[in-house]
Amino acid sequence: MSATPQKNRATRRVLAAAAGLATVGALVAAMPAGAHDRGDGHGPGHKPRTVDVQLLSFNDLHGNLEPPAGSAGNVSETQPDGTVKAIPAGGVEYLATSLRTARRGNPYSVTAAGGDMVGASPLLSGLFHDEPTIEALNGLDLDVTAVGNHEFDEGAAELARLQNGGCHPVEGCYEKGKKFKGADFPYLAANVTEEKTGRPLLKPYTVWKKNGVKIGFIGVTLEGTPDIVTANGVKGLTFHDEVETINKYARELDRKGVKSIVALIHEGGAPASTSYNYDCDSPGAGDGISGPIVDIAKGITPKVDALVTGHTHQAYVCTVPDPSGRPRMVTSASSFGKLYTDTTLTYDRRTKDIVRTSVKSANHVVTRDQAKATDMTRLIDRWNKLAAPIASKPQGWISADINGRGSTAPEKPLGNVIADAQLEGLAPADKGGAEVAFMNPGGIRADLVHKASGSEGDGVVTYGEAFTVQPFTNMMNVVDLTGAQLVTALQQQVSGSNEAGPKILQVSEGLTYTLDLTKSGADRVVAGTIKLNGEAIDPARTYRVAMNEFLAGGGDGFAALGEGTNKLVGASDLDLFNAYLAAHSTAAAPLAPPATDRITVIQ
Q: Is the dihedral of CA 332, 334, 336, 337 positive or negative?
A: negative
pLDDT above 80 (res 22)? no
The CA distance from 93 to 377, in Å, is 6
77 DSSP β-pair partners: 85
pLDDT above 90 (res 371)? yes
DSSP assignment of 494-523: SSGGGSSS----EE-TTEEEEEETTS-GGG
Q: Where are the beta strands (DSSP E) in 440-564?
A: 460-462, 475-482, 506-507, 511-516, 531-532, 535-536, 542-548
Residues 220, 191 contacting (CB under 8 angstroms): yes
Q: What is the pLDDT of residues 203-259, one digit of tens each?
A: 999 999 999 999 999 999 999 999 999 999 999 999 999 999 999 999 999 999 999
pLDDT above 60 (res 13)? no
Maximal C-alpha separation, the chain: 88
Q: Is the dihedral of CA 141, 330, 334, 249 positive or negative?
A: positive
Q: What are phi and psi of 271, to 5 degrees?
A: -75, 160
Q: What confidence score (pLDDT) does residue 286 get? A: 79
The CA distance from 383 to 380, in Å, is 5
454-460 mean pLDDT: 95
Lowest model confidence (mean pLDDT) among 13-27, 40-54, 89-103, 411-425? 13-27
The CA distance from 159 to 369, in Å, is 35
pLDDT above 80 (res 32)? no
Q: How confident is the model at residue 16 (pLDDT cuts 50, 70, 90)?
A: very low
The CA distance from 557 to 551, in Å, is 9
Determine if the pTM surpasses 0.85.
yes
Q: What is the pLDDT of residues 573-597, one digit of tens each?
A: 999 999 999 999 999 999 999 999 9
Residues 205, 127 contacting (CB under 8 angstroms): no
Q: How confident is the model at residue 99 (pLDDT cuts 50, 70, 90)?
A: very high
CA distances from 565 to 418, 437, 486, 539, 547 (A): 23, 15, 13, 16, 13
Q: What is the pLDDT of residues 475-530, one digit of tens each?
A: 999 999 999 999 999 999 999 999 999 999 999 999 999 999 999 999 999 999 99
Q: What confidence score (pLDDT) does residue 45 get? A: 58
Q: What confidence score (pLDDT) does residue 65 get? A: 98
The CA distance from 414 to 421, in Å, is 10
Q: How confident is the model at residue 30 (pLDDT cuts 50, 70, 90)?
A: very low
pLDDT above 70 (res 21)? no
Q: Is the dihedral of CA 462, 568, 441, 335 positive or negative?
A: negative
104-121 mean pLDDT: 98
85 DSSP β-pair partners: 77
Instruction: Spell out the residues 6+ positions from residue 244 whose beta carbon is closer than 8 angstroms to its own.
Output: none
Q: What is the pLDDT of residues 302-340, one digit of tens each?
A: 999 999 999 999 999 999 999 999 999 999 999 999 999
Q: Name the pairing type of β-strands 436-439 and 353-354.
A: unpaired
Instruction: Spell out the residues 6+ positions from residue 50 whose beta carbon is closer than 8 angstroms to its own.
Output: 28, 36, 37, 346, 347, 348, 349, 355
419-441 mean pLDDT: 98
Q: If you average pLDDT over every residue of the chain, what do you get?
A: 92
176-194 mean pLDDT: 97
3-state SS, 153-197, equals CCCHHHHHHHHHCCCECCCECCCCCCCCCCCCCCEECCCEEECCC
Q: How confident is the model at residue 2 (pLDDT cuts 50, 70, 90)?
A: very low
Angle between helices 573-584 and 413-426 (to 10 degrees): 100
Q: What confidence score (pLDDT) does residue 196 get? A: 97
2-27: b (≥16 Cβ within 10 Å) or e: beeeeeeeeeeeeeeeeeebeebbee
Residues 306, 55 contacting (CB under 8 angstroms): yes
Q: What confidence score (pLDDT) does residue 180 get? A: 97
Q: What is the CA radius of gyration of the chain?
A: 25
405-417 mean pLDDT: 96
Q: What confidence score (pLDDT) does residue 11 get? A: 32
DSSP assignment of 238-291: EE--HHHHHHHHHHHHHHTT---EEEEEE---EES--BTT--TT--STT-SEES
pLDDT above 50 (res 54)? yes
Q: What confidence score (pLDDT) does residue 20 get? A: 36
